Structure 1
Amino acid sequence: MSGKTFTFTVDGIEVTATPGQTIIQACDAAGVYIPRLCHHPDLEPSGHCRVCTCKINGRPASSCTMPAAAGMVVESDTPELNADRRTLIEMLFVEGNHFCPTCEQSGNCELQALGYLLGMTGPTLPYLWPQRELDATHPDIFIDRNRCVLCSRCIRASRTVDGKSVFGFEGRGIHVRLNVDGAHLDETTIAAADKAVHVCPVGCIVIKRTGYRTPYGHRTYDDAPIGSDIEARRAGRKK
């Protein structure tokens, strides 16, 4: 170990990190997957979803915002934490209108993939059936707010990568909704090539005329569970 690196453990696995890395960044590089939904490696962390919450030296904290430190003891893959994550995912399903069999993001959806990974066979909480707007006014993009999980990825990407600030939140509590900086999407400066369009983890922001080009059964999470690409990095190091 050099003077510029240090180690900590995650579920008993030694992870090497560098100063300035968060726990989830160091774990991703080391091939240790921690479930997440709002986190994206190309965006600044926000800690919105809390799915990545781990026990760090015995206390819960979001691993996407917590800086890694030498000697830190992190617990992630435990029955208690995975049960909490499953509840969070289930709440997102019942608070929105997620019709997986007819959603064109099925198989590419991170929310759906996390449900499978965490063993969610079906919601146990009552559905809320909200009435949310679909905005298809833009020639190349549509927004289905029924599928929005309020992860803020599009907001962060639009501001920090695209330099446009197209998206934002409005409302409070359960009435929070994704908003755009115009009466409708066609009045904004958003373009299909924008980063904000491509970081949505679900089927909320979709590019028109691209649906079903990859058939069901051949999509990202049809062949391998979410996080398997990260875990493969550690498997590769063992060979």
Structure 2
Amino acid sequence: MATKLSIDGKEISASEGETLIDVAADNGVYIPSLCYMRGRPCLGTCRVCSVVVNGSIMPACTVRISGDMVVEVAKPEVADMRKALVEANFSEGNHNCPSCEKSGRCELQAVAYEVEMVVSRFPYRFPERERDQAARLIFLERDRCIFCQRCVEFVRDRETGRKIFSIHGRGTHARIDIDVELADRMPPEQAREAAEMCPVGCIIEKGRGYNDPIGKRKFDIRSIRERALEEDNK
């Protein structure tokens, strides 16, 4: 059933039950996210898509459209909160963009540009998390993980459906892990999909590094905002 809602004062029409972040994109309003992938189940882990809905702050990927919704995306307080969440991700990991293989293809880096981040307001923790190179086709740079859980939920063994990635520990002791036995059964295209699904440079495909020169990388050619609006309107 079609219904009306307001996004930053603009009245738009959408179907009840649609996801707010998708509806916003379909109507030219970019809401950043680091865990949500259109067409996949909502994870709600990063909270970078937070907006104001009827006076309450909510992650847009979890909100289903219903009647008489008033949504505020550009409100300064909530925009700054999204920026703070992005800054927190930088401070809680080791993200040295100039030396990272994922630079120019990294969603965290691209979203940081969109929220106009310059430096984190939070102290940098510089965690030391041991990398894992045991798998045949991929290795993990654990100190770059932002715990979005895309890989945990969406990358599974094709025969058994078992999860290949998992998160062990809690708080500052949390780390991403990989089931090497299952990972070694991944065909090359699935390993590449896992690496591309990762929003940062945590899951790296072996044998691929700096093969795209500056100026020709994914988000150099088209910003993450432009890609989100264009792809969501296909």
Asked if 1:193 is matched to 2:189, the reply is yes
| Alpha-carbon shift at residue 159 of structure 1 (Å) | 4.4
Q: Secondary structure at the match of 1:146?
A: helix
Matched length: 229
| Alpha-carbon shift at residue 25 of structure 1 (Å) | 2.0
Gaps of 5+ in 2: none
| Alpha-carbon shift at residue 144 of structure 1 (Å) | 0.7
The corresponding residue for 1:164 is: 162
Structure 1 Cα separation of the partners of residues 12 and 217 of structure 2: 31
Mapped contact 2:150–2:198 kept (Cα < 8 A): yes
Mapped contact 1:32–1:230 kept (Cα < 8 A): no
| Alpha-carbon shift at residue 229 of structure 1 (Å) | 2.7
Asked if 1:153 is matched to 2:189, the reply is no
The corresponding residue for 1:225 is: 223
Amino acid at match of 2:124: Y
The corresponding residue for 1:35 is: 32
Seq. identity, %: 38
Structure 1 Cα separation of the partners of residues 157 and 57 of structure 2: 28
| Alpha-carbon shift at residue 161 of structure 1 (Å) | 8.2
Q: Secondary structure at the match of 1:105?
A: coil
- For residues 94-120 of structure 1, the C-alpha deviation after alignment (integer angstroms, 9 at most, x for no partner) is 111111001011111111111111111
Mapped contact 1:168–1:180 kept (Cα < 8 A): yes
Asked if 1:59 is matched to 2:84, the reply is no
| Alpha-carbon shift at residue 6 of structure 1 (Å) | 1.7
Change (3 A) 1:192 1:164: farther
Asked if 1:104 is matched to 2:119, the reply is no
Mapped contact 2:157–2:164 kept (Cα < 8 A): no
Mapped contact 1:155–1:196 kept (Cα < 8 A): no
| Alpha-carbon shift at residue 28 of structure 1 (Å) | 2.5
Amino acid at match of 1:206: I
Asked if 1:203 is matched to 2:201, the reply is yes
Amino acid at match of 1:200: C
| Alpha-carbon shift at residue 186 of structure 1 (Å) | 5.4
Gaps of 5+ in 1: none
The corresponding residue for 1:17 is: 14
Q: 2:120 aligns with which of 118, 123, 128?
A: 123
Amino acid at match of 2:173: H
Q: CA RMSD in A?
A: 2.3
Q: Secondary structure at the match of 1:16?
A: strand
TM-score by length of 2: 0.89
Change (3 A) 1:142 1:124: same
Structure 2 Cα separation of the partners of residues 199 and 151 of structure 1: 10
Structure 2 Cα separation of the partners of residues 161 and 40 of structure 1: 20
Of 78-87 and 46-55, the range deviating more from structure 2: 78-87
| Alpha-carbon shift at residue 11 of structure 1 (Å) | 0.9
| Alpha-carbon shift at residue 152 of structure 1 (Å) | 0.5
